Every structure is written in structure tokens, then in C-alpha cells.
Structure 1
């Protein structure tokens, strides 16, 4: 007996109902703490430091307004067989530390992997004045729903396939034993990251860290390499392995030109946990005063 069946490719283009989302200075600080920022990152972790203007960590939109219920339009599947395979975020305007937007999640791609499917769900956040603020695309690998006769799709992004050149730097972070408990307060309450019994049912010795939390750590490393006058325009990476709270993360970065940073991340025992990372930079507006 199975709860899964081949997906219906006509689901490409299906959209969720619009969702009103809001965030404030506290939400921004909580997300920053969740991705490991601290006393050396007061622009992200405080809102009343003299001479420092508060900013949102630019990877934070991955937490805003995502509605994966739209995946049901593709067909019936077992949610336990869903893996987050890759992530991309585009920051299309300056996003304030307090604001409101309307978010819609759309199925933009479906690829037939034989015994599985890769589906891309893109969430677009639009300010109430009509300005598009961000797009966040999740690549989701789902076992048991392939086999409808569709195309297999690309093996990876063209950007990630380009060779790494330029000077290389490694940024190292040590995650907290309670890192997942902090990160989940930004909205991802999957018990895989908090409940030891649930993690054991998944074959793990203890709860693992959210993939999007490691994505946020990588974003911080990119910003460290980019310098204070640059911020993210876009960032993408593939998830290659699990991270446990308390693990050390080594982010290997190179900057082939002033607009691009490439990166991979290694976790426990030097195993890759993020691969094919590419970040596009833009100049940050530093004219505002706190």
C-alpha cells in the first residue's frame, strides 16, 4: 500500500492563495541569532545600538510566506519522503526591518527522476505598494512520485557548474548545541529538528539542524568576504548532507569577480553539507543614518 502516485505535470504554474505576512525588528534579530550572528554582528542582532542602523540578514526572506500546500496540486505523496534538495533566494529591493507583504508560492518546475520527482516551488513576496521584494525558490526531491514520462531536467544550475577561480578563504563557525531550537522560532517547527523520538524514527541519533539554517550561516560567510559596502542580490546552493547542532561549519569561498562569490560548506568529519553555492552581490545603500 502506498500514499504516493506519479505527479501530474500540468501542476506547473499552480499557485497558492495569497498570504499576508509581516515582520518586525524582533523577528529580524531572532532570525539573526538563529543563523549564528551575535555580539560581533550588532547591526543584525540589536535595534538600539548607538551609531548602528539595524538591518535584516539578507537570507531571511526564505522564512517568509512559504506555502508548500500548493504541492498537493501535483498529486498525492508521502510528506516523509520529501527532502529539501536546493535553495535560491533573490532580494529584489531593499527590505525594511519592519514591514508587510503579500506572498504567493507557485510550482515553477517539475522534473521526472524515475522513482522520484524534483519540484521547484517559488515564493514571491510583494510589498503592499506593488514592489516585488524577494523571490525564494526551493528545490524539493520527493521519492515515489516520478514515472509520468517527463524530462529528467538539469543535473544542476549552470552557475554552479562554472569553475571556481580567484582567491580562496575559509570562514569557520561553531554552531550552538541549541542552534535548531533558536532557528525554529523563525517559523520552521518540523519536529525533525527538535524531537529526539521523531529524529530516531527517521534513523538519526538526534535532531539535525535545519538546512535553511546552514544556508543562513553560508550567507553570513559570503557577507564577510564581500565587505561592508556589499550585500546579497541573490544566493543559491544545494544541500548535500546533514548538520547536527554543535557541529563546526567550514565555508570555503572564492571571489572570481567583484559581483560574485562561490562557496561550499563542510560539516562533521569534513563532509560536504552545501555544494555549488553561488552568491551575486550588489552595492549596499550606506547613506541612511540611524
Structure 2
């Protein structure tokens, strides 16, 4: 079978040691639409949005992301990003080096698709834990093998007016800029590849939407202070096409800041982008 959970679950990837610079941080922030100088000007006032940690290990890759997962014979055209979370031990440095240790933690059978979960921990050269990532990919056409369906816990969205309600206009070239941050998946640039994958046109990277939403909520409810973000979790509920507008709504709750993101305007008005989102402040 294309996915063998007996081989995949628990499989450890080779450790990945990587470096990043202020220039990488600046490019990432520009790619998610930041304009404030605290995100875009090098120097002592530069801060790092925690979502940068997700990209940092592969930031300088120029090939499409590999899918050489142990026990998984799949291809890029089958795969969409399912969900993503990052939690940080403290503010990320604007430059540095780290080692990422990643494993496949779970494989779920959703009937018509499988969900593959990965967990990774980034540590500094002195062994200090910097951040932890957890992500899933949705592999279409590879379900039905009788495995566990996995948990499904929806985040409750408050039924009153949000504490923040704003929009971001995705530029027509946003995906082309974001792919310079290390994700060269042709799904986000090549019209023919996108059509073969079942989309009418290239779509925005899910992690670009993730970064846009995190930055938007940080600016709206945390005073633009990235150091106040302890963690951010989201499920990728739908796609965004470059040129569309993302509406972001957020609510302070006892469990953290609950966030929704949808398409605003046009024929796809109200279509989901991110769901089950929680920003945990510190």
C-alpha cells in the first residue's frame, strides 16, 4: 500500500541543522504582508513573528519540498497542508542557528484520504529548546486502509461581536514572493500543475495565509508585539487565490484568542480559509 503506518509512525528523520539571518526574517515578514518597521527594518528593534520558525529549517531550499517520508509513497499533487501549530519558548532571535529533530507521530485514515502528522523540536547549539512545531498533511486518495480516524475537536467561536475584525488584500504576486521563503511547490506558481491537482489556478501557500492571519491578530490585539505570542494553532479549512481578500476576526477568550479567517468579497465570499485557530498569548 502507498502508506504503511507500521513503518511511518514513530519514524525519526535525520536531524537538520540550519542557520538564519536578519535578511531571512525581513523577507519572510514582507512575504506575509508586513509593513511596520518592527518587522521590516534590520537592527535592534527588529522582532520575529513566531511563525518564521516553521520556515526557518527549509528557508534556503530551492527545490520543491521532498515527500520522502518513511513508509509513504505519495506525490505533491495528492497533498495539501492540513493543520499547523508552533509554540515558542521565548522570543525568536533575529539570526542564529538551530537543529530540528522531527518524527512522524501519527497516521489517520479518513476514508478517502490519509492524514500524516509530524512533530519537531528546534534546539539551539547549546541544547536550549527554541520552538516546537506540529503539522499534518492531507493525502487525497490514500485512505480506506482501516486505520484510526483520529480525533476531531472543533474550537468554539464566540457568538458575540469580535474584538478585532479586519481584512488583508492578498496581492496577485503574493505566492510568487512567498515561495522565495523555501516552499517551491509548483502548486503555488504553475497553472498547469495547479489544474492537474484539481484547482483552477495556483493557490496561496497555506502557511502564507497562516502567517498573514497571525501577523494581523498580533497587530490588532497584541499591540504588534510578536514576543507576546506563545503559540498559534490553525487548521487549513480552504484555499485562497492570489488577488482575493482575507477577513480576519478574533475574540479574547479564557482559552486564548480564538480566530477565524474567511474569503471576503467576490464569488467566494465567506469561504473558509483557516478554522479552529487559537493564539495563545504570553
Give the CA deviation at 1:226: 2.0
Helix, strand or coil at the partner of 2:276: strand
In structure 2, the partner of 1:64 is 56
Give the CA deviation at 1:122: 1.6
In structure 2, the partner of 1:111 is 108
Name the TM-score, length of structure 2 as normaliser: 0.88
Name the TM-score, length of structure 1 as normaliser: 0.85
Helix, strand or coil at the partner of 1:270: coil
Task: Output aligned runs, 1:111-260, within 5 Å.
Answer: 111-156=108-153, 160-164=154-158, 168=162, 169-224=164-219, 225-228=221-224, 231-257=228-254, 260=256
- 4+ runs deviating over 4 angstroms: 66-71
Give the CA deviation at 1:80: 1.8
The whole-number CA distance in structure 1 between the counterparts of 2:73 and 2:270 is 37
Deviations 1:142-188 (A, max 9, x none): 133334432211123xxx43453675121211111111111111100
Helix, strand or coil at the partner of 1:219: helix
In structure 2, the partner of 1:97 is 94
Contact 1:175 1:246 in 2 (8 A): yes
The whole-number CA distance in structure 2 between the counterparts of 1:75 and 1:17 is 16
Helix, strand or coil at the partner of 2:251: strand
The whole-number CA distance in structure 2 between the counterparts of 1:107 and 1:70 is 13
In the alignment, does 2:78 pair up with 1:86? no
* Gap change, CA 1:172 and 1:42, over 3 Å in 2: same
- How well do the aligned residues superpose, as a CA RMSD in angstroms? 2.2
> How many residue pairs are counted as aligned between the two chains?
270
In structure 2, the partner of 1:54 is 46
1:266 to 241, 262, 267: 262
The whole-number CA distance in structure 2 between the counterparts of 1:207 and 1:46 is 30
The whole-number CA distance in structure 1 between the counterparts of 2:262 and 2:141 is 29
In structure 1, the partner of 2:30 is 33
Q: 5+ residue gaps in structure 2?
A: none
In the alignment, does 2:13 pair up with 1:16? yes
Contact 1:112 1:146 in 2 (8 A): yes
